[in-house]
Amino acid sequence: MLGHRSSQLGLFDAQTLPHRVPPDSFYGKMSDVSGMLFRDEDLEAMYDPDTGRPSLPPSLMCGVLLLQFYENVSDNEAVQRLQFDLRWKVALHLPLDYEGFDPSSLSVFRGRLVQHGKERYAFDRFIQVGREAGFIADKVTLLTDTTAVQGAGAVQNTYTLLRKGMRQLLRAMGYRLPGKRRGLSEQAKQLIATYLEQDQKADIDWSDAAQRQEQLGVLVADAEAVLEWALEHSDDAEVRRIGWLLTKILGDDVQENENGKAQLSQGTAQDRIVSVTDPEMRHGRKSAAHRFNGFKASVSIDQKSELILDADDLAANDGDGKALMPSIKRVEEHADVVVERAIGDGAYISGDNLAACADHRDAQGQPQPIDLLGPLRQPAKPEVHKSAFEIDLEQQTCTCPQGHTVSGQCVKDKQRREVLKFAFDRQSCEACPRFADCVRSKKHGRTVTSHAHEALLRKARARQQSDGFKALYNPRSAVERIIGELVRHGLRQTRYIGEQKRHLQRLWTAAAVNLKRLFRLSQANNVDLNAVLATLA
């Protein structure tokens, strides 16, 4: 059943006694709105209306969860703060002798939020406050960027991935139960003993390359045997999932050498799995020198109010620009605003994103183009880059910087879209003083291929050279400062495994940062947050 908080203060309530928590601190300001910040009735659907004992009040649990992500502490530490930290007691209007609750209650409460699709509750509520108070306008300019986030799973090498993958598959097939093992062959019993009962790293000299390769061959042979065995259980969804996982590990990490023996693959597969603990983790990099394992966190803020309007995950090996249009869609849907401009760095300014923004429609299906602003990446040799060639899409001609003009031929790009390919004569290219820099082929002259959205890209590159571009683009740095604030509250380390739980962590961390910003905005604009919260009741 739904439990409720009493609005009546007790004799030992921290608010009724003198205390040293500064009223202008985050905790003091949270105390001023604690009674209205969250409502038990908003989460009533998560509880049975008639049966069971009254729950811990969800308004209290939301407050605890918010402070937990604000201070980036564990469940155990959060409950201890409730018991012993005066700041938490003041912020949540708790008595000085509050005894707390079992830390597992926080895990249960987060599970309820995820189960009932309420992981956005605090985040969306604070966005509503910003809209109601007038801090967020009907039309917004979105500033967006991503940051590297470490995953919660252990990063494992190929040997461990295969061993742990086989262990998971055998468990999914039910062989952790002794009764399932009756009548099995000796090979099957040996596999179970090796990977399910023992689960130990092989006792070899891991500094010896020959022994490592021999062990890899054993693991590959055993994995193929377990996968063949799993075909008998292919009607089970979990067996199919783990079987696919193990098959992908074999395909990405292992290849045969000239002698037909298993060896580690050369290079790294684009979508390589790095952990069977959290199979969604990937290798990623924010620069040539900055590599990480986990995810990217995509953050979008309103330029005017600097409130976070969207926070979500992106695969670590995906380009930042892939997050743009989904982020815009979520912002318009949940914040009930119109995005009229989006500003991002060079990773976001692609032909496809420019086209998607130009063709954007609002919730009613009416055309609502978005002005996508950002710098196209500067080429290392601009004098021979494609942008130095004059492409006439109507006449289907291309003129090189030296004045040679050729006609184009229609071809298909990787997405099967029609583009123009221009091939310059080898002899003409060899006579050019920039031949060595311009032509890479040893047989043909320079080739230039247009983009499916070539006109939009050229327009964006020309705009980048205009006088007003820098003034419009400079405010984008605000999103980097907000991301830095999120990182200080624990954004960079994922706590949970699973997309919905990760999403909850990102959103509640962003909600805590947004609440700080709401306090500053309300003070600067002389707005009573309690009055605004009352209108949302």
Nearest to 34 by CA among 59, 68, 70, 4: 59
pLDDT for position 238: 92
pLDDT for position 17: 61
Cβ atoms of 299 and 145 closer than 8 Å: yes
pLDDT for position 48: 84
Q: How far is CA 15 from the centre of its chain?
A: 39
Q: How far is CA 412 from the centre of its chain?
A: 32
pLDDT for position 335: 95
pTM of the model: 0.92
Same domain assignment for residues 225 and 371:
no
In-domain check, residue 345: yes
In-domain check, residue 298: yes
In-domain check, residue 389: no
pLDDT for position 8: 58
Block means of pLDDT (10 residues each) for the chain, length 537 residues? 63 65 93 91 88 87 97 97 93 89 96 96 97 96 96 94 93 84 81 84 90 93 91 85 94 90 89 94 85 95 98 94 96 95 95 96 89 91 91 94 93 93 93 92 93 94 91 95 97 95 97 98 95 89
Query: Percent helix, strand, coil in the chain (nearest 5)?
Result: 45, 15, 40
pLDDT for position 176: 84
Same domain assignment for residues 179 and 255:
yes
Which of 420, 448, 476 is the C-terminal boundary of a domain?
A: 448
Which of 217, 237, 264 is the C-terminal boundary of a domain?
A: 264
DSSP at 329 = H
Rounded distance between C-alpha atoms, residue 534 and residue 25, angstroms: 22
Same domain assignment for residues 220 and 244:
yes
Same domain assignment for residues 37 and 85:
yes
Q: Which amino acid does the sequence have at 87?
A: R
In-domain check, residue 46: yes
Same domain assignment for residues 338 and 478:
yes
Same domain assignment for residues 174 and 250:
yes
In-domain check, residue 526: no
pLDDT for position 137: 96
* 344-392: pLDDT as tens digits: 999 999 999 999 999 999 888 889 999 999 999 888 888 999 999 999 9
Same domain assignment for residues 348 and 477:
yes
In-domain check, residue 277: no
Rounded distance between C-alpha atoms, residue 306 and residue 3, angstroms: 35
In-domain check, residue 52: yes
Rounded distance between C-alpha atoms, residue 265 and residue 273, angstroms: 14
Same domain assignment for residues 456 and 444:
no
Domain count along the chain = 4
pLDDT for position 10: 59
Rounded distance between C-alpha atoms, residue 412 and residue 164, angstroms: 43
Same domain assignment for residues 110 and 92:
yes
Between 209-230 and 237-253, two packed helices, what is the crossing angle to 10 degrees? 150
Write phi, then psi, for 27 (nearest 5 degrees): -70, -40
Domain that holds residue 21: 14-118
Same domain assignment for residues 424 and 461:
no
pLDDT for position 4: 65
pLDDT for position 145: 97
Same domain assignment for residues 208 and 348:
no
In-domain check, residue 1: no
| Matching residue, tokens 């007691």 | 89
Same domain assignment for residues 356 and 440:
no
Structure tokens at 532: 């605004």
